[in-house]
């Protein structure tokens, strides 16, 4: 599956002003992250376990 075909979403905390936001798409193998303003730009792909660790760190940092 190409990353263009993924179900991308923004956080419910994202504003509606069109400013800086990241989008994520989750698959069985990984979490994909991209800039919502540059849908054809670079994407970061992170393993699901690493994503969980990152979110825990960000929440409790």
User: Tens digits of per-residue pLDDT, 3-25?
Assistant: 668 999 987 767 666 666 889 99
pTM exceeding 0.85: no
Sorting pLDDT into bands at 50, 70 and 90, what band is 57? very high
Is pLDDT larger for residue 14 or for residue 44?
44
Sketch the domain layout of the chain as residue ranges: 3-60
CA atoms within 13 A on the CB side of 48: 6
Cα gap 15→57, rounded to integer Å? 23
User: Tens digits of per-residue pLDDT, 23-43?
Assistant: 999 999 999 999 888 888 899
Cα gap 7→39, rounded to integer Å? 12
Cα gap 55→61, rounded to integer Å? 9
Cα gap 1→22, rounded to integer Å? 21
Residue 48, number of CB atoms within 10 A of its CB? 13
């Amino acid at each position: 599956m190409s990353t263009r075909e993924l179900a991308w979403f923004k956080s419910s905390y994202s504003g509606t002003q069109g400013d800086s936001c990241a989008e994520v798409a989750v698959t069985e193998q990984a979490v994909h992250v991209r800039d919502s303003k540059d849908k054809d730009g670079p994407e970061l792909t992170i393993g699901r376990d690493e994503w969980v660790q990152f979110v825990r760190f960000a929440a409790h940092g």
